[in-house]
Structures are given as structure tokens and as C-alpha cells.
Amino acid sequence: MIITKDKFAYLQAVAEEGNITRAAEKLYVSQPALTNYINKVESYYGIRLFNRVRNPVTLTYAGEQFMKGMGEIIRLQKKFDHEMEELANHRADRITIGMGSTRASTWLPYLLPSYKNKYPEIDVEIIEIITQILNKDC
């Protein structure tokens, strides 16, 4: 079962509100639709997310672990989406520089700091190689 960040917000709202009806109102969905969604998630994973006997509704231990894990997944998804957006908009990339050891040790300490300041999202990969081999591959 794939839980999107929007659907995860449904579960967060119930946990925060402590009441399914109030959470549904906050989310602009019907209470039966929200209850049905919770039931589907619980059925899929074979756990109870919420203790609905008490008022306010509280997370079960399994629900706490579920919310913690899903929160981490959503955070990673946002990070991944941001990284892909950076790449798509050419704000992040990687360049590879092949250079002989002597030139690399002489030039790079002067060139790289200002380059990294100007283009912090660009990863720079340095390959130090014998100049004859570098010339042969070019």
C-alpha cells in the first residue's frame, strides 16, 4: 500500500485532533471516508493505529511506530523530490576533472574554493592520473 504525504496528513490530523470527526472537518473530507481510510490502512498492515474506545482517540503503540516510520519515509521523499528538482533545473550536477598529480596539487587549491563558493550544488570529482594516460583517453 502506497501512502502519499496527503494521505499521511489524514492520519496525522486524527492523531493531532484526537477525534476523527474534527480531523475530517479540518481536512474537508467526510467522517465516513476518513474512517474508511483508517480501516484500510489498519487492515493492510494488520495492526490497530488508533485506540478508538477512549475519547480522545489516541495512537496505539503500533500506531506510534507507524507514524514515526511513515514520517521518516515522507521526509526522505521530500528530500529526494528536492534533489530531483535541483537536477532538473540544472542547479545541481557533477563534473569530473582529470588532471596530472603535479597540476592538481598546484592549481586545484586555488581554483576549487572559489568554484565551490560560486556553485555549491555542483559535486566535483577529481581524478589524478598520469598525464600520458589522460592525453591518450581524450
Q: Which CATH superfamily is domain 92-137 in?
A: Periplasmic binding protein-like II (3.40.190.10)
Rg (CA), the chain: 26
* Percent of the residues in the chain that have a pLDDT greater than 70, as a whole number: 94
Going by pLDDT thresholds of 50, 70 and 90, the confidence category of residue 138 is low
Query: Measured between alpha carbons, how far is residue 7 from residues 46, 62, 67, 73, 81 in Å?
Result: 18, 18, 12, 13, 17
pTM value is: 0.67
Q: Domain 5-86 belongs to what architecture?
A: Orthogonal Bundle (1.10)
Chain region(s) in the chain for CATH 3.40.190.10: 92-137
Instruction: Dump pLDDT digits (tens) for 21-39.
Output: 999 999 999 999 999 999 9
